[in-house]
A and B are shown apart, each in its own frame.
Chain A
Amino acid sequence: MTVTIHLSPLLHHYCGGGPDRRVQGASVREVFAKLELSDPKLYASVCDETGSVRPHVNVFVNVESIRDLQGLDTRLVPGDTITILQAVSGG
């Protein structure tokens, strides 16, 4: 199934400059595994070497954070949108 990934503007330069990617996968984990192959710099900006989502990155499926769903194992349905944003943190 195909889902849309919508990226923070801070990540556009890692994937050709656009805000959206169309990727296939039945779960967030499957989608990210495809990203790791197709866009390794983008993937490495979202997940660390252990495969975990970076602590200050938020991943949403539609409007829900995957931290409130099943994390990387959150299941997807056709037409879902994965939004990747930096958290509100810093100083």
Chain B
Amino acid sequence: MTSTHGTAPAVEFTAAGKTYGAVRALDGLNVRIHPGETVALLGPNGAGKSTTLDLLLGLRNPDPGGRVRLFGTTPRQAVTDGRVGAMLQSGGLMEGVRVRELVALACDLHPRGYPVDQVLEAAGLTGIAERTVGKLSGGQEQRVRFALATAGASDLLVLDEPTTGMDVTARRSFWSAIRSQAARGRAVLFATHYLEEADEVADRVLVLHRGRLLADGSAAEIKALAGVRRVSFTLEAVPDGIREAQLRALPGVSEVELAGAAVRMRSSDADATVHALYALGLYPRGLEVTGLGLEQAFVALTSRAEQGGEQTGERSGGQAGEWTGSAPSSAPHGTTTPTTDNAHHKAATK
């Protein structure tokens, strides 16, 4: 695994674990990220996201046996070489200085720093360059952190929950700035618990849960992996003998809800399900096949992992609930169970 400097992956975790006392924060992570990739690190609080980023940036060392390399070298060396730009969630700012002075410092410290004005402009800070750092709003502070992370020509950009405290407009312009960074061939790794961000921005999503890598793929693949596509239709004339059990037996179907003539199913292979539906001699009306959001996929994945996992003492109720705070509100009538419950139900029936 002694890759040369030029072809080495931007990030390489090899059996990297981290234990704090009795807590296994990260459990043997194996991941490679290549230049040009935009990767989301997704997981609830306590999933190991911050530990992963700390190891990645050399702020902590992995437990013996594990290894983290950036561009074929140690994280500290990569940071010293100016190959990594990082925006920390907990990154405090120097107090008592002006925005421009602080950004100028970052540009100066970077071995291949950009001109200050250019960095300020890209971060949308030109208008507040003369303001004192201590007097900024949360969103403005985040922009300053972004400026610090992009003060020079780094090859890897690491962002820990970067849009916390930003409003929707700010968030949008932030991600467009990130996209332009990625377009320059940089690897971008960001931790988030905004699932739509992972869905929209990343070309690859790593799902982390309880220190383990649950899934690694495109957002679409993650959704497919969790078996979540909703197939819904109505049956105007329900033929005799058609039972829920028959629908449940269709290929790919993991869940069926019948409410009068309305049918809602979840399927991991919607094409096969629909095909088999017609084969049963049914004529579904208003057939809709919709991909569920990454959010539901995520809940399904994590709760499945929890059911199958070693820890049964703590059910995922609270955790999943935290993730789906807004999801259950879409239940117009009694047939739709809240997502959280669905996920549990589904996992339980496995």
Partners in one complex: no
Please report B residues at the A interface, Cβ cutoff 8 Å. none
